[in-house]
Structure 1
Amino acid sequence: MVLQTWLGFFLACWVISLSPGAGAVASMASGLQYGFARGYWSALGLQLGLLLQIAIVALGVGALLAASATAFTVIKWFGVFYLLYLAAKQWRALPSDLGQSMHVRPIGKPLALVFRGFLVNASNPKAIVFMLAVLPQFVDPHAALPTQYAVIAATMVSVDMIVMAGYTGLASQVLRALGTPRQQVRLNRTFAALFVAAAACLALLRRAPA
């Protein structure tokens, strides 16, 4: 990948990562509930899901997914129900005791948070179809494809890790500014509503005509 092409892709990565979506909501929800250090494990899971999406496109499976109405629908509705599950979990999340140390927070197991983030990205067929439309524009078919997709993956993951760190850290700092458990409950339920909105957007998604 030549430098000029990579710079264009690098800029596109920032635009894609900064765009609000289920991944951003998941990162902020984890930061709010667990703090930055522990909540960021969810963002790492998002990156594993992102790598899976890139691999699917690189292997040509993405084209099959885009063409298969059944596969697209199954993955889509799995993603919808998983986002609704996260919404319910966020709605029931208990507030932290701000009278105690800020270390007193619900304990989320790192592997569980990684898996949670992974499922958010892995269950989004829209992202795979989107990548199928975007990534080939930055690939030179006459050059080594594995090397180019390795550069693409490294660039996308690096940018997304920075952006999700920002979302996670921002939500973590918001918790410090909340003075009462009631305010925390309201914010938890706001994020629950955002998960529902993301699920609704995914449910309304239609496969492009073949």
Structure 2
Amino acid sequence: MITAVPSLLQFASPGLEPALMWDPAAIGDGEWWRLGTALVVQDGRAGRAAGWHHRGMDLERNVPFDVQAYEARVKSSPCFICAIVAGDPAYDHEQIVYEDEHHLAFLSRYPTLPGYLLVSPKQHVEHVVRDLDEDAYLALMRVVRKVALAVEAVVPSERTYLLSLGSRQGNAHLHWHVAPLPPGTPYEKQQYHALMSENGLIPWTRAQAEELAARVRQALS
């Protein structure tokens, strides 16, 4: 059940917009999730029906995404996950939040939701079940769960979507999407609508991506 809690506005920091510190254990000093006037809380997570933002991160999906150009690029380019694993300088800007001997997790370059990231095995495998033996599959899923819990500790979410996409024709390298749904998202904008870049991307800067990645890494430590 989601309930409005206007009294929580008393915790706003002086000089800031009405705010609420969400999960103090996961957010450092001075980190405030800035909300609008209609605060809501669900299971300790704060949000509002119209959406929320952090440090000016606008969640209106008003950045258009050129699907045709993207499709042409992924069909004609080498595997981008293999390039990240190999340390290709062209991918230096990717924000890696987790890495071990066999796995990698990094923020999505085309986020439709804040905290949207990908988890992948380092080895180039393509089929989500056939290309992994049981031990390798379970090890990957443990990383997916670990990373998803870290994201939820940093980004308010009422639900986290986990799914494996990709195609043999492009983005063939196996990867899992971890996508936290903001609290109060209208039903018609949830599920696939929330994930499809055709519906627009959220605007954010590299500095915001670096900050978010650092906080996820901290939650994982």
With the length of structure 1 as denominator, give the TM-score of the two structures: 0.25
When you count helix as a share of all residues, which structure comes out higher? 1
TM-score by length of 2: 0.24
Q: Greater share of strand residues, 1 or 2?
A: 2
* Higher RCO, Cα 8 Å, sep 6+: 1
